[in-house]
Structure 1
Amino acid sequence: MSERKAVVELPRPEEESIADLMKQVLMRLGEDPTREGLVQTPARAGKAYRFLTSGYSMDVKRIVNGALFSVTYDEMVIVKNIEFFSLCEHHLLPFFGKVHVAYLPKDKVIGLSKIPRIVDMFARRLQVQERLTREIAETIQNVVDPKGVGVICEARHFCMMMRGVEKQHSGTVTSAMLGGFRDRKETRDEFLSLVNQDSLGR
């Protein structure tokens, strides 16, 4: 039986350039990038940052991939507790949390799995929470053309937890309301009520 040869995954050119820069950062911080524990750190960091910013190479059209379906249903559709991680563009530190998305169909619905993918596309970029919330809402509005869209984003920011004010338990909530969600208080109230409802037992 012939032995299977291990496949060596070569770093991408952009990962190599990020690795070179990370090596310089480590040296500026007073570390030795050639010591055992740090030899592979610049390459790992380059790969990690490439993944954490992979949203820049994602495209809405490819994500949706035609998954829009004609319906007669016109009540609220909610996908809630969509977990995300992102990088704060001010300090390059993580922020993370959950996004709740709702829309009022006009004559089409979008495949449910596409909504978390849209969230990931914008979360995997250098972000601020306010813009992330707005981009998700506007994209769903543009793609689905519903009567309205509501997005609530709850997050905790490492730039507040690890530095600055050092408040480990503080959270930030942002919202974007478009169309019927912005115009009708009853619609917003229904959205908030359903988001806060522990309907799945967790």
Structure 2
Amino acid sequence: MAESDRNEARDVVMALPVNGTATTGQKHGHDEDAAAKPSTSTNKRRKSRGATRRSAKRRHSMSKAARDPRDEPESSGSKAASPGAPEPAKGGESAVVTRSPSPFIDFDGLSRPSTGTRARLEENDEERAVRLEKMRGAVRTILECVGEDPDRAGLLGTPDRYAKALLDFTQGYQQNVRNVVNEAIFHEGHNEMVIVKDIEVFSLCEHHMVPFTGKMHIGYIPFHSVIGISKLPRIAEMFSRRLQIQERLTKDVANAIMEILQPQGVAVVMESSHLCMVMRGVQKTSATTITSCVLGCFERKEKTRNEFLSLVGVNRH
């Protein structure tokens, strides 16, 4: 090889980013393939860095739900359709079921379905009557266990009333996020912050099954598309009408909005009072709990996050 060719090959190699595993001897090629090899290596590194950046865009900080088996993805090689999946298309073509990559919204719009969610959602009138009767018996047993007489006048209708009330308190298990949103997403080219604050929230603590109540503030920065503002309180209502803890409720709402709208960022803050602290335990009546979940640009940019906190009245400093 001519001296000029060797110098040119060496200059090409030296100009490329050095991989952490490269040695000094690898930088100096001794044949005519030396100039081609770094190009392939560089492409691999670029692809690797791009994949890393894409995977870092979303932070899933929530544990996996206790899924109904019908919500599990079909194993490779299995041709049988799962019970929860759509029927195969006519003409021999299989319907393609697309799933969300995260555990927050399932392929049919259910959000974090547990082992009993779909059974309750799909039950018929007869099964619903059996469920209600089962709950009435359980409430009657509880009344007996606390020392009451379930047959006295004031308590005769309590098992039925409480069973129906509890089903109402937990109606979020029967709601589908797609039906809640109802295609109310509009392409407006808007990219400024949107906030709905002071959304009243009532939920049941899953640890003691007593209420916690408070207010939720939801903000997002659109990526061209906006959602009907009434849908944000409806999403909060859907998730709150389940057995919850405040930390998970805050994340459920933020992640659902992030998935269905794909905005630049979402921020959710919730302030609430827990009766499990007020009526029992430490019995601190004035204590409030504040939780937050910030995704996208709200997580990356302190200025954007502080603007949201200031507008909802949380950043009081």
TM-score (norm 2): 0.58
3-state secondary structure, aligned to 1:31: coil
Q: CA separation in 2, counterparts of 1:153 and 1:12?
A: 36
Q: Which amino acid in 1 is paired with 2:156?
A: V
- The answer to whether the aligner puts 1:144 opposite 2:261 as a matched pair is yes
Pick one of 275, 278, 283 that aligns with 1:166.
283
Counterparts of 2:205 and 2:310 in 1: how far apart (Å)? 29
* Higher relative contact order, structure no. (Cα contacts within 8 Å, ≥ 6 residues apart): 1
Tell me the CA shift for residue 159 of structure 1. 0.2
Shift of 1:15: 2.2
In the TM superposition, 1:16-165 aligns within 5 A as 16-165=133-282
SS in 1 for 2:250: helix
5+ residue gaps, structure 2, are: 1-127
Q: Quote the offset at 1:14 in angstroms.
A: 2.1
Q: Give the residue type in structure 2 aligned to 1:79.
A: V
Residue 73 of structure 1 aligns with an amino acid whose one-letter code is H
CA shift, 1:196, in A, is 1.5
Q: Which amino acid aligns with 1:82?
A: I
Deviations 1:58-96 (A, max 9, x none): 010011111000011110000000001000000001000
Higher relative strand content: 1
Alignment identity in percent?
Answer: 49
Name the SS of the counterpart of 2:290 in structure 1: strand
Q: 2:296 aligns with which of 179, 184, 192?
A: 179
Distance of 2:172 and 2:135 partners within structure 1: 17
Q: Which runs of 5+ in 1 are unaligned?
A: 1-10, 198-202
**Aligned-partner Cα distance in 1 for 2:222–2:236:** 19
Return the alpha-carbon distance in structure 2 between the equivalents of residues 119 and 196 of structure 1.
19
- Backbone CA RMSD of aligned residues: 1.1
TM-score of the two chains, using structure 1 as the length reference: 0.91
Q: Which has the larger radius of gyration?
A: 2
**d(CA) in 1 for partners of 2:189 and 2:180?**
24
Between the aligned partners of 2:205 and 2:303, the Cα distance in structure 1 is: 34
Distance in 1 (alpha carbons) for counterparts of 2:172 and 2:150 = 29
Specify the SS of the correspondent of 1:79.
strand
